[in-house]
Structure 1
Amino acid sequence: MAQRSKYDELHDRYHAILSTKAGTRYEMLAAMVFKSLEDKNTVIHHLQLTGDSDVPHQIDVSIEKNGKAWRVIIECKDFDISGDKVGLDIVRNFRSVVEDTNADEAIIVTCTGYTRDAQKYAKAKNIKLAVLRGAEERDMEGRIKTVVVNLHIQSAKNHSMTMNMSEANRDLFAAECLRVGITGGIHIMHPVFLVRGAERHQFTSFMSDKVNSSPAQKLPSGLYEVRTLPDGWSLQVESGPLIQFDLISTTYEMGVQTIELNITSDRIAEMILAGVGDHDILIFDDQLQQRKIDAETGEIL
């Protein structure tokens, strides 16, 4: 069995094709990559273009930008098995295709690199040389893999409440609480309410909302205090008489809980593209997975 390029293996992890032609899978990977870079472009694999010479040329990857107003043609060379670099002859031959088809932009893509003469000639003829290869661990150096987020959650704890009211109202409130069996503190299930006109709220629930929504004053003791003025509110136990108060002072400690979250992406870097922009571009598994090819037109979808 003939040796397979690692890019054949990479392609077949995401898409299946019947072709056994060498380099076809690398061409399709390149087409998917260029489609992922700019989704609105029309990218076609294996396009036949007839040049000014009336000779048809097989273009590995063609990109149409702005509705055919700008055409990019791409020559792909999978030299993974041989390890050879793209030489001058390949660049020179491709240049003749560029001229014959009047392409606006020309790119050669390989996985192994280019000879010095190929680089000099391509630069002189305005042909871009790109490298599209498998991503390696070294490509991740200097890149963010994991984001550590420290959440500092502040919460009030150890509440203490003081009610300022006249002595007569204090005695009345205590008697009303004893009448319904309340001794000690007031809890969420106790029938103690704050009443103002048609409004009626359970006392503990109301005070918790007040602490959570009102600005607190830090006391010299280190405690925090929220003051609740009457503002038309009265106390009521069950359905007993309305009881006036002057001030309810709620003091509490501020607890701080720190939670560390490590957020790591589950995306897998499969390929890296260099030479078409200002920096190297990582290509991830989901970018290859989401692409499809139209069997009739060769368009990457």
Structure 2
Amino acid sequence: MELAMIGLGRMGANMAQRLVQGGHVVSGYDPGEAAREAAAANGIAPKSSLAELVASLPAPRVLWMMVPAGAIVDDTLAQLLPLLAPGDVVIDGGNSMYKDTQRRAAMMASHQLGYVDCGTSGGIWGLAEGYSLMVGGEAALVQRLRPLFETLAPAADKGWGHVGPVGAGHFTKMVHNGIEYGMMQAYAEGFSILQHKQEFALDLPQVADIWRDGSVVRSWLLDRTTDALKDNPTLEGIAPYVEDSGEGRWTVAEAIELDVPAPVITLSLMERLRSRDKDSFADKLLAAMRNAFGGHRITRQ
């Protein structure tokens, strides 16, 4: 197939490269000149504007967006809208909020344009190992785009699927990332307990490596954890500050809205927020309360 990739960052560029390796013809656009030049070295035809990108494609056009969630998606669609024609289709492969996806799909449909959401997992390893793709949209559109999903996935019949109507792909990816938060937190806490048991002087990379084979907790995430510990066993130079990209918050909000208890995912999100509080007012107040009712010692800064 012939298509365009909008957004040539780490994910977009690697996905475009995998598509090229799979025999597809890919043009690409990114506002950064360096990103366009890097893509060109990997067989992607760079275009200097969205207008040039759209004009280079045969009708009906297929455009895949890999841009950050939020206003940038809406801005990109606003720029694309006057350039597209009925029958063209846009795929949002980023981490958009599913309700935004449903709104955007309705807007595109009013212009006879197709819209497909594709929750995409795989990170920097996707180029070599393939991506996990959770696709939402009309069945006919998904079938038309099937060769793209089959190429990007680990295998044509593995790691991807049409999970439901438009919005379902991003909803499924949102929950996927919430689960990811909980798994990461469990590994982090477990290894912290091991690290604090000084009398055993445990070799954490060794323990992680042992768990990779035969263990109930073995996983691809544990593989990456093992690599990180081997590279830097004491995690020297890494600040205890953890970002969140939004999906965990959305998952927790959705759980509340649906009256579904999700304590592990919720607490893992809270731990990320806590990691950023370098001068915790709450902890100071806890210390002050203990002193007030029990005369317990306060540690001064």
- When the two structures are superposed, what TM-score results if normalisation uses the length of structure 2? 0.29
Greater CA radius of gyration, 1 or 2?
Answer: 1
Q: Which has the higher contact order (CA 8 A, sep 6+)?
A: 1
